[in-house]
Amino acid sequence: MSGALLELKSVTRAFGGLKAVSDVTLSIERGEILGLIGPNGAGKTTLVNVVTGIHPATAGRVVFEGRDITRLKPFQAARAGIGRTFQIVQPFPELTVIENVAASALFAGSAPGMRAARERAMEHLAFVGLAETADRSAATLTLAMRKRLEMAKGLAMRPKLLLFDEVNAGLNTAEIDQALALIRAIAATGVTILIIEHLMKVVLSVCTRIAVLHHGELIAAGTPKEVVGNPRVVQAYLGKRYATQGSPHA
C-alpha cells in the first residue's frame, strides 16, 4: 500500500476541446512541501481545482489517504482534510477578521459551534500574527495581512493537506520572508503542503520536491537540484540564463 497522502492517477481536465490538465500522475508524500511550478497557463491552478473538487477530473482518479475522492464536492474535500488558499485574496469584507476565520472553522473545520469556532479562529490568528486585528473589518487589511488571513482560514479547516496558490504574489521581500517563515511553521505542525509559486527563490528555499507543468502536462518531478538541471524544465520555464546562473541553494 502506498504511503502517499495524495495520489493523482492519469488526471485529465478538459474544457471543451482544450485539455488544461493532461494525464498527470503525481503523488504527495506525508509531511513534504511540494512546489508546483510552470509558465502561466500551464494548468497549475486547474490541477488544484481538480484536487479540491471545483473542477472534477474529466478522466483519471484523485486518491486521498487511500480513498477515491475524484467526485467529491469542494465542501466534502475540505471536510476530508484538504484546505487551500486562493491566488486572488477575497475575504468576506462585511465580516471581521475573526469572523472570516471562524466561518472556515465552522463550515469546513467541523467546529461544534460558534464559540468553539471563534476560539479556534483566535488561535490561528495568533499563529499567523493577526491577533491584534481580530475585531477589525477584513476589508481594512493590507494585501500582506489578507494573505496571512487566507493562511489562518486554511488552517481553521484543520487540513492534513494545505494547498497554497501564489501566496507570495504582490508581496515585497520582507513580506515574502515572513510568509516563508509561516509556511515552514505550518509544515512543522505536521501539515503537508503543496505550493504554487513563480518565484524560484521561494521554491528552492522552502520545497523538498518540485513538480513542473507545461501545457497541462507533467514534464518533471524531483528534488530542487534535479528539476533545475532538467533540460525540459530549462527550455520550457527557467531559461538558459537561469540554468547557468541559478543554483538550488540560491
Instruction: Give the whole-number percent of the chain exceeding pLDDT 70.
Output: 94
Whole-Å CA distances, 132 to 23, 37, 121: 46, 34, 13
Residue-level pLDDT at 250? 36
- Measured between alpha carbons, how far is 41 from 77 in angstroms, rounded to an integer? 24
Distance in angstroms (rounded) separating the CA atoms of residues 183 and 191 = 10
What pLDDT sits at residue 241? Answer: 57
**Rg from Cα positions in the chain:** 18
Three-state secondary structure readout of 39-91: CCCCCHHHHHHHHCCCCCCCEEEEEECCEECCCCCHHHHHHHCEEECCCCCCC
pLDDT exceeds cutoff 70 at 245: no
- For the stretch 125-154, pLDDT in tens is 999 999 999 999 999 999 999 999 999 999
Taking the whole predicted model, whether its pTM rises above 0.75 is answered as yes
Instruction: Spell out the domain ranges in the chain.
Output: 4-81+159-245, 90-148
**pLDDT per residue as tens digits for the range 63-103:** 999 999 999 999 899 989 999 988 778 888 889 999 999 99
* Homologous superfamily (CATH) for 4-81+159-245: P-loop containing nucleotide triphosphate hydrolases (3.40.50.300)
Please tell me the distance from the alpha carbon of residue 89 to that of residue 62, in angstroms, as a whole number: 26
The C-alpha cell at 17 is 476541446
